C-alpha cells in the first residue's frame, strides 16, 4: 500500500515537475517526501533535457510522405480495378502508341488489377514440378535457365506497362535474393545476375515511360522505392561478403542508384523522360544540377554511369560512396 | 477530434489521398520524434516513420483496428517497428562478429568524434559524456521501462495515454515508471538511491 501511495505521489510530482521545470519548486510541495523524491525528480529532469534534443528529420518527412502516398495510390488503383471488374467498360479515347499508330487509352485502374495477378503468378508455382523446383535455384544450377525462361515467358505474356514495371522490379528483387543466397553460401556472384538485373531495371524505366499519364509518377515512385530498398538490402550483405563479391554488390548498387536517379529526374521532367525512353534513346535524358537532385553531387563519373551502357569493366570497383549522396527532394504527385 | 479522426480513418481505409496526407501530416512529426528517441538516428527514424504509416494502411485493410485510441495504436505499431529494427541490428552485429577483424569496415561517425584528440572543448565533452552515460544506462533498462520513460518524458504523455499504448493499467504504468526511474538513478549515481 505504501508503495502504491509513493507511486501515485511520484506521478503527481512528475506532472508538477513537467509543468514547473524546476525540482526545488516541486519538492517544496511535498516536504515530507522530499528526500525520497529528490533523486527521482533529478533523474526525471535529466531525462526531460535528454529527450528534448531531437534533430530535424533529414528530408523533413517529405520522402516518407511521398512513399506513403505512392503506396496508397497503387493500392487504391488496385481496389478500384477489382471493383470495376463488375462494371460496364465505357468507350475510351485514344492516344499515340509505340509505333505512332493510334492506341486505345486503357483504364489505368483496370490495368493494375493485373499487378496482383502477376504477383500471385510469381509467388505460386503453377507450371509443374520442374519449374517449381527451378524457382528456387541459383545461378550455376542447370535448372536456373528454366527459371529465367519462365520469368521471360511470364513477362512477355503481360501487355500493360504498369504491370510490367511491377513485374520488372519484382524480378530485380529476385536477383537480389539470389545474390543474398550466394553471399551467404560464400559463392561467387556471376556476372549474369548483374546483367539480368540491369536489363530488368532498364525495362522498368522503359515501361514506366509507357504508363498512362496519371499513373506514371506512381510508377516512378515505385521504382525509386524498390530500388532504394534493394540497395539497402545489398548494403547489409556487405558485412558477410567476400572481397570479390563486395565488388559485385557495389556494381549492383550502382545500377540501383542509377535507376533511382533517372526516375527522380523523370519525375521532374516527365515529358523529356517519356520522349527519350519511348524513342528508345535513354542517353538523351538530361541530368539537371538542381531540382530533384539538389543535394546530390553530380560528378563526371556519376554522369557517365547514368548515361552510359553498363559495362562490368567500368564498374570493377564498387561505387559505394555515391550511395549516401542520394538525397532526393522530389515529391511525386500521386494520381488523383 | 475523435469523430473527425474516425472519418479520416474511414477515408484512409479507402486509400483516399487527402485523408492519408492529413493523418500523416498530423502524426508523422510525433512518431518521428518518438522513433528518434528510441533509435537515436535521424535517417533511420525517418525511414521507420514512413514504414509505420505503410503498416497502418495495411492494417486498416486487414481490419486490425484500434480499440480505444488511434494514437495509442499508432505508437504500438511504432514500438513494434523499433523492436524489429533492434532485432535486425542484433543479427547484423552477430554477422559482424563472424567477420575477421581486419576485414571489418573502419569505424566512422561518433567513434571517431570521441576518439578525436582535438575535441578539447570541455563543455561539449561533458555534455557528451553525460548524454552517453544516460544513454548507456537507458539501454540497460528493460524494453518496457525504456518505453514508459520515452512516452512520459519524451512524448510528455499522461499515465492514461501511456497505459493505452502499452496495454496496461494505470497502476502498472505508475509502478513501471517508478522502477524505471529508481533503476536508472542507481545506475547513474549509485550513492543517492
Q: Which residues lie closer than 8 Å to A85 by C-beta, 6 or more apart?
A: A110, A113
Ramachandran region, residue A160 (left: φ > 0; alpha: ψ -120 to 50; beta: rest): beta
Domain count of chain B? 1
- Residue A68: its chain B contacts at CB < 8 A? 20, 24, 50, 53-54, 57
pLDDT at A60 over 90: no
Is residue A109 scored above 50 in pLDDT?
no
User: pLDDT band at residue A86, thresholds of 50, 70 and 90?
Assistant: very low
Is the CB of residue B90 less than 8 Å away from at least one CB of chain A? no
- Residue A3 CA to residue B143 CA, distance in Å, equals 22
Instruction: Decide which of A300 and B24 is more confident.
Output: B24
Residue B168 lies in a domain: no
Q: How far is B117 from chain A (nearest CA, A)?
A: 25
Q: Cβ contact (<8 Å) for B33 and A334?
A: no
Give the pLDDT score at A272.
Answer: 85
Compare CB distances from B154 to A51, A63, A79 and report the shortest one's residue.
A51
Residue B185 lies in a domain: no
Q: Judge whether B187 lies within some domain.
A: no
Report DSSP letters for A148-212, one per residue. HHHHHHHHHT---HHHHHHHHHHHHHHHHHHHHHHHHTT----HHHHHHHHHHHHHHHHHHTTS-
Contacts of A54 in chain B (CB under 8 A): 32-33, 36-37
Residue-wise DSSP of A108-160: HHHHHHHHHHHHHHHHS--S-HHHHHHTT--TTSTTHHHHHHHHHHHHHT---
- Residue B45 belongs to a domain: yes
Q: Do residues A43 and B181 make contact, with C-beta atoms less than 8 angstroms apart?
A: yes
pLDDT (mean) for A304-313: 42
Cell numbers 517497428: residue? B81
Assigned domain for B150 exists:
no
Q: Is the ipTM of this complex over 0.85?
A: no
pLDDT (0 to 100) of residue A179: 92
CATH number, residue B25: 1.10.1740.10
Of A33 and A176, the structure prediction assigns the larger pLDDT to A176
Predicted confidence (pLDDT) per residue in B128-187, tens digit: 555 668 888 998 999 899 999 999 999 999 999 999 899 899 999 999 999 999 999 998
Phi, psi of A96 (to 5 degrees): -70, 135
What is the model's pLDDT at position B29? Answer: 95
Cβ–Cβ contact A17 with B under 8 A: no
Show the cell assigned to A248.
559485385
Pairwise pLDDT comparison (B105 vs A68), residue with the higher score = A68
CB A292 within 8 Å of CB A328: yes
Q: What does the alpha-carbon distance between residue A87 and residue B155 come to, in Å, rounded to a whole number? A: 48
List all residues 6 or more positions away from B122 whose beta carbon is below 8 Å from its beta carbon: none
A39 touches chain B (CB under 8 A): yes
User: Touching check for B186 and chain A: CB below 8 Å?
Assistant: no
pLDDT computed for residue A268 by the predictor: 79
**Nearest CB to B174 within list A8, A61, A69:** A8
- Residue B182 is assigned to a structural domain of this protein: no
In this structure, what C-alpha cell is assigned to residue A24?
526545488
Are B15 and A75 inside 8 Å of each other by CB?
A: yes
At A80, the pLDDT band (50, 70, 90 cuts) reads: low
* Chain A contact for B48 (CB, 8 A cutoff): no
**Cβ-based neighbours of A261, under 8 Å, separated by 6 or more:** A287, A293, A296, A302, A306, A326
Residue of A nearest to B150 (CA): A51
Per-residue confidence (pLDDT) for residue B68, from 0 to 100: 65
pLDDT digits over B105-139, tens only? 443 333 333 333 343 445 444 555 556 688 889 98
Residue B16 has pLDDT above 80, yes or no: yes
- Report yes or no on B70 lying in a domain: yes
* C-alpha span between B36 and B39 (Å, rounded): 5
What is the structure's pLDDT at A43?
92
pLDDT at residue B39 in the model:
92
**A19 contacts chain B (CB < 8 A):** no
**Residue partners of B120: CB distance under 8 A and separation at least 6:** none
Instruction: Give mean pLDDT, residues A13-36.
Output: 86
Higher-confidence residue of A328 and A187: namely: A187
Q: What are the start-end ranges of the H helices in chain B?
A: 2-13, 17-39, 42-61, 70-98, 110-115, 122-139, 143-149, 159-166, 170-188
Task: Identify the weakest region by mean pLDDT among A13-22, A150-159, A256-265, B169-178.
Answer: A150-159
| Within-domain flag for B191 | no
CB proximity B49 to A under 8 Å: yes
pLDDT at A226 (0 to 100)? 86
Exposure letters B157-184 (e unless 16+ CB within 10 A, then b):
bebebbbbbbebebebbbbbbbbbbbbb
Interface check A5 vs B, CB under 8 A: no
For residue B84, give its domain range.
1-105
In chain B, residues with a C-beta closer than 8 Å to the C-beta of A65 are 21, 24-25, 28, 50
User: What are the boundaries of each domain within chain A?
Assistant: 127-156, 158-325
Among A74-83, A225-234, A295-304, B88-97, where is mean pLDDT lowest? A295-304
Percent of chain A residues past pLDDT 70, beyond the cut: 65
In chain B the first and final C-alpha atoms are separated, in Å, by 43
In this predicted model, which residue has the larger pLDDT, A3 or B56? B56
Higher pLDDT pick, B80 / A142:
B80
A244 touches chain B (CB under 8 A): no
Q: Which of B11, B152, B159, B183 to mutate to test the interface with A (most CBs of A within 10 A)?
A: B152
Interchain contact, B43 vs A58, CB within 8 Å = yes
Size of interface A-B (CB pairs under 8 A): 135
A chain contacts of residue B131, beta-carbon cutoff 8 Å: 50
Q: Identify whether the C-beta of residue A155 lies closer than 8 Å to the C-beta of residue A121.
A: no
CA-CA distance, A14 to A31, in Å (whole number)? 15
**Number of Cβ within a 10 Å radius of residue A137:** 17
Range with the poorest average pLDDT among A46-50, A67-71, A171-175, A233-237: A67-71
What average pLDDT does range A28-56 have in this prediction?
A: 89
At A29, the pLDDT band (50, 70, 90 cuts) reads confident
Q: Decide if B12 contacts A71 (C-beta within 8 A).
A: no
**pLDDT higher than threshold 50 for residue A201:** yes
Of B100 and B28, more confident = B28
B17 vs A79, more confident: B17
Amino acid at each position: 500500500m505504501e508503495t502504491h501511495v509513493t507511486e501515485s505521489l511520484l506521478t503527481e510530482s512528475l506532472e508538477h515537475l513537467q509543468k514547473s521545470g524546476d525540482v526545488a519548486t516541486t519538492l517544496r510541495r511535498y516536504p515530507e517526501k522530499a528526500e525520497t523524491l529528490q533523486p527521482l525528480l533529478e533523474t526525471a529532469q535529466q531525462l526531460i533535457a535528454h529527450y528534448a534534443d531531437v534533430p530535424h528529420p533529414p528530408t523533413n518527412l517529405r520522402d516518407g510522405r511521398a512513399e506513403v502516398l505512392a503506396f496508397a495510390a497503387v493500392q487504391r488503383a488496385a481496389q478500384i480495378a477489382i471493383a470495376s471488374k463488375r462494371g460496364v467498360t465505357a468507350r475510351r479515347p485514344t492516344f499515340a502508341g509505340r509505333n505512332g499508330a493510334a492506341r486505345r487509352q486503357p483504364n489505368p485502374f483496370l490495368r493494375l488489377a493485373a499487378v496482383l495477378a502477376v504477383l500471385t503468378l510469381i509467388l505460386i508455382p503453377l507450371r509443374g514440378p520442374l519449374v517449381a523446383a527451378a524457382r528456387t535455384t541459383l545461378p550455376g544450377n542447370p535448372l536456373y535457365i528454366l527459371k529465367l525462361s519462365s520469368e521471360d515467358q511470364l513477362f512477355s505474356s503481360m501487355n500493360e506497362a504498369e504491370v510490367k514495371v511491377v513485374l520488372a522490379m519484382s524480378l530485380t528483387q529476385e536477383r537480389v535474393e539470389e545474390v543474398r543466397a550466394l553471399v551467404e553460401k560464400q559463392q561467387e556472384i556471376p556476372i549474369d545476375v548483374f546483367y539480368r538485373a540491369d536489363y530488368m531495371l532498364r525495362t522498368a524505366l522503359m515501361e514506366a515511360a509507357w504508363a498512362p499519364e496519371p499513373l506514371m509518377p506512381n510508377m516512378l515512385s515505385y521504382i525509386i522505392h524498390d530500388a532504394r530498398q534493394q540497395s539497402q538490402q545489398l548494403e547489409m550483405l556487405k558485412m558477410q561478403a567476400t572481397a570479390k563479391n563486395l565488388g559485385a554488390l557495389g556494381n549492383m548498387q550502382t545500377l540501383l542508384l542509377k535507376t533511382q536517379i533517372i526516375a527522380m529526374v523523370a519525375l521532374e521532367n516527365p515529358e523529356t523522360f517519356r520522349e527519350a525512353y519511348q524513342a528508345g534513346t535513354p542517353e538523351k535524358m538530361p541530368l539537371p544540377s538542381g531540382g530533384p537532385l539538389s543535394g546530390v553531387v553530380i560528378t563526371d563519373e556519376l554522369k557517365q554511369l547514368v548515361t552510359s551502357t553498363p559495362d562490368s569493366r567500368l564498374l570493377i570497383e564498387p561505387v559505394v560512396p555515391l550511395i549516401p549522396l542520394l538525397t532526393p527532394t522530389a515529391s511525386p504527385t500521386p494520381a488523383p | 477530434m475523435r469523430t473527425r479522426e474516425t472519418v479520416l480513418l474511414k477515408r484512409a481505409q479507402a486509400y483516399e489521398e487527402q485523408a492519408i496526407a492529413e493523418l500523416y501530416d498530423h502524426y508523422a512529426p510525433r512518431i518521428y520524434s518518438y522513433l528518434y528517441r528510441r533509435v537515436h538516428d535521424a535517417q533511420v527514424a525517418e525511414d521507420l516513420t514512413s514504414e509505420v504509416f505503410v503498416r497502418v494502411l495495411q492494417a486498416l485493410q486487414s481490419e486490425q483496428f484500434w480499440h480505444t485510441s488511434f494514437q495509442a495504436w499508432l505508437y504500438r505499431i511504432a514500438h513494434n517497428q523499433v523492436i524489429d529494427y533492434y532485432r535486425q541490428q542484433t543479427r547484423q552485429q552477430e554477422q559482424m562478429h563472424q567477420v575477421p577483424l581486419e576485414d571489418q569496415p573502419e569505424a566512422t561517425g561518433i567513434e571517431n568524434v570521441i576518439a578525436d584528440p582535438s575535441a578539447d572543448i570541455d563543455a561539449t565533452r561533458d555534455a557528451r559524456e553525460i548524454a552517453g552515460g544516460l544513454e548507456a544506462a537507458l539501454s540497460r533498462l528493460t524494453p518496457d521501462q525504456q518505453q514508459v520513460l520515452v512516452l512520459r518524458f519524451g512524448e510528455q504523455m499522461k499515465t492514461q495515454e501511456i497505459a493505452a499504448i502499452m496495454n496496461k493499467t494505470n497502476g502498472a504504468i505508475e509502478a513501471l515508471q517508478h522502477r524505471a526511474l529508481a533503476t536508472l538513478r542507481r545506475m547513474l549515481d549509485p550513492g543517492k538511491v
